[in-house]
């Protein structure tokens, strides 16, 4: 049987040789044990895994260079419980001599922006993380997926775990996006088409000449939200943009896997990027999408620009382009959160933070913060927020009677200026 990109990576890791040209053929639904290149945890999920770790009978993690621990959800610590969670991670990382431990102020950041930036993931890798948006690294041609904390503990102990081989949906991208249309609009459009369970336990495999028209940041955004379509992972082919990114971030040499020409797909979806318009997801599902021009007059109370989905430097530049020389509307709280310390510094050097501050925004240190209702922007009852985050479930950013509207940095910035949902 011919295989998809995801199936080839799983097959290679099942043999223990990531670049093996003679990996066995796998079928959707098969169970395989596969070697891991990286195991990830954050300050919500890792403490649970750390408590479970001794039960596996191992004194040490399988490889101290293949475990990454990133306190990012409730950091800088918002309360005593958050501080205790991070203290547990810090103690474990020190005892285990974990190489890739990142805390506030020391090359820190939101995990799914930080790990690619640090060159810790490369094409062909197999990565698990105790966070659902671990699927972000598919932008680099890696197989990456979220797991539970117990699976994280097992992965840290054994260096391998089991997978059920997923079938795939092929997403064929055509054309070139217009100005102000980016990766967030692409993935919201796709989720609006197929629904939040439209790719349940499948790999979303992006192909077509339109891929070349997307920046790496666009691809990270799209892969990040594959889980919002129910997918096991999202993955992009490895092209020169990918290889340039990997070289620029010091990643190890890639193992490039390409889908076979006659690989089987459960479904094929085609998207013309040139026809897409700025899109927003209304409460309370990422699939509840509308074109911004059709939303009517939806007044807002808050805007959040950041997160593992849209907190990269290109997102900061887009938002600053919209906001430059303008002011945030009265009554709107605008919060900008660069995703990593490096992005924060780059935004500072480029004058973007000054643009945000002069427009009336508050700029936060890197943190997940409001995305999961943690801190730095919790909503009260009846309040509405336009956010570049990835989920808008009931109570996601605060009170169960609040509302979150998912949008791109361009739409979020324009809405902050206008005081209602709009486009640049």
The strand pair at 302-306 and 267-272 is best described as: unpaired
pLDDT of 358 strictly over 70: yes
Q: How far apart are CA 385 and CA 55, in angstroms?
A: 43
Cβ atoms 121, 140 nearer than 8 A: yes
Residue 103: C-alpha distances to residues 18, 133, 264, 307 (Å): 30, 19, 43, 17
Return d(Cα 291, Cα 278) in angstroms, integer.
6
Count of residues in the chain: 424
Structure tokens at 121: 């993931």
**Mind listing the pLDDT tens digit for each residue in 62-106?**
999 999 999 999 989 999 999 999 999 999 999 999 999 998 777
Stretch among 12-26, 79-93, 192-206, 295-309 having the lowest mean pLDDT: 12-26
Task: Convert the pLDDT of each residue in 380-414 to its tens digit.
Answer: 999 999 999 999 999 999 999 999 999 999 999 99
pLDDT in tens, 33-54: 999 999 999 999 999 999 999 9
Residue 104: the pLDDT is: 77
Burial of 329-355, coded b for 16+ CB within 10 Å and e otherwise, reads: beebbbbbbbbbbbbbebbeeeebbeb
Handedness of CA 287, 316, 45, 155 (dihedral sign): positive
- Phi then psi for residue 267, to 5 deg, are -160, 145
DSSP state of 140: G
Q: Report, as an integer, the average pLDDT of 301-310.
A: 97
DSSP notation for 4-41:
-HHHHHHHHHHHT-TT-TTPPP--TT-EEEEE-SEEEE
Contact indicator for 417, 328 with CB cutoff of 8 Å: yes
Q: Quote the CA–CA distance of 174 and 254 in Å, as a whole number.
A: 26
Where do the domains of the chain lie, and which CATH numbers do they carry?
5-21+30-272 (3.30.499.10), 279-418 (3.30.499.10)
* Residue whose structure tokens are 């925004």: 361
Q: Which residue has the tokens 């500072």?
A: 348
Buried b (16+ CB within 10 A) or exposed e, 104-130: beeebbbbbbbbbbbebbbbbbbbbbb
Strand pairing category for 279-281 and 289-291: antiparallel
Confidence of residue 17 (pLDDT cuts 50, 70, 90): low
H-state helical runs in 286-383? 307-310, 313-323, 341-349, 352-359
Q: What is the pLDDT of residue 24?
A: 77
- Answer yes or no: is pLDDT of 224 > 90: yes
What single-letter DSSP state applies at residue 107?
A: S
Q: How many CB atoms lie within 10 A of CB 14?
A: 22
Would you state the structure tokens that stand for residue 223, as one six-digit string? Answer: 């892969």
Cα separation, 208 vs 219, whole angstroms: 13
Q: What is the mean pLDDT of the chain?
A: 95
Closest C-alpha to 168, from 18, 19, 26: 26
Give percent of the chain above pLDDT 90.
94
Residue 279 neighbours by CB under 8 Å, 6+ apart: 184, 185, 188, 189, 192, 289, 290, 291, 292, 407, 408
Distance CA 314, CA 409 (A): 9
Give residue 118's pLDDT band: very low, low, confident or very high (50, 70, 90): very high
What are the tokens at 260? 């076979």
158-216: pLDDT as tens digits = 999 999 999 999 999 999 999 999 999 999 999 999 999 999 999 999 999 999 999 99
């Amino acid at each position: 049987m011919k295989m998809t990109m995801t199936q080839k990576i799983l097959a290679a890791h099942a043999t223990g040789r990531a670049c093996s040209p003679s990996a066995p053929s796998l079928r959707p639904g098969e169970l395989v044990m596969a070697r891991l290149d990286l195991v990830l945890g954050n300050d919500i999920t890792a403490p649970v895994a750390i408590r479970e770790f001794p039960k596996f009978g191992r004194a040490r993690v399988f490889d101290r260079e293949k475990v990454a621990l990133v306190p990012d959800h409730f950091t800088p610590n918002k309360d005593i419980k958050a501080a205790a969670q991070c203290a547990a991670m810090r103690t474990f990382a020190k005892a285990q001599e974990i190489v890739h431990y990142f805390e506030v102020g020391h090359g820190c950041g939101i995990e799914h922006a930080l790990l690619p930036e640090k060159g810790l993931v490369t094409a062909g890798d197999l990565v698990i993380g105790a966070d659902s948006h671990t699927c972000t690294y598919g932008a680099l041609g890696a197989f990456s997926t979220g797991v539970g904390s117990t699976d994280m503990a097992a992965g840290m102990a054994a260096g391998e775990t089991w997978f059920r081989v997923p079938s795939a949906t092929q997403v064929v991208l055509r054309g070139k996006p217009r100005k102000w249309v980016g990766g967030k609009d692409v993935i919201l459009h796709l989720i609006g088409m197929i629904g939040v369970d439209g790719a349940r336990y499948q790999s979303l495999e992006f192909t077509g000449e339109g891929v070349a028209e997307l920046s790496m940041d666009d691809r990270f955004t799209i892969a990040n939200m594959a889980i919002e379509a129910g997918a096991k992972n999202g993955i992009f082919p490895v092209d020169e943009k990918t290889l340039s990114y990997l070289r620029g971030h010091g990643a190890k040499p890639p193992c490039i896997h390409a889908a076979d020409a006659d690989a089987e797909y459960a479904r094929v979806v085609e998207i013309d990027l040139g026809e897409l318009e700025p899109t927003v997801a209304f409460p309370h599902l990422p699939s509840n999408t509308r074109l911004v021009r059709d939303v009517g007059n939806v007044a807002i109370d808050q805007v959040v620009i950041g997160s593992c989905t849209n907190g990269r430097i290109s997102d900061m530049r887009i938002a600053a382009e919209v906001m430059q020389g303008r002011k945030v509307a009265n009554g709107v709280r605008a919060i900008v959160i660069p995703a990593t310390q490096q992005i924060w510094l780059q935004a500072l050097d480029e004058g973007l933070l000054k643009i945000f501050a002069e427009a009336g925004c508050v700029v936060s240190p890197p943190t997940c913060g409001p995305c999961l209702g943690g801190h730095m922007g919790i909503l009260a009852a009846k309040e509405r927020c336009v956010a570049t985050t990835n989920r808008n479930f009931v109570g996601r950013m605060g009170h169960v009677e609040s509302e979150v509207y998912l949008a791109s940095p361009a739409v979020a910035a324009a809405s902050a200026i206008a005081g209602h949902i709009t486009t640049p």
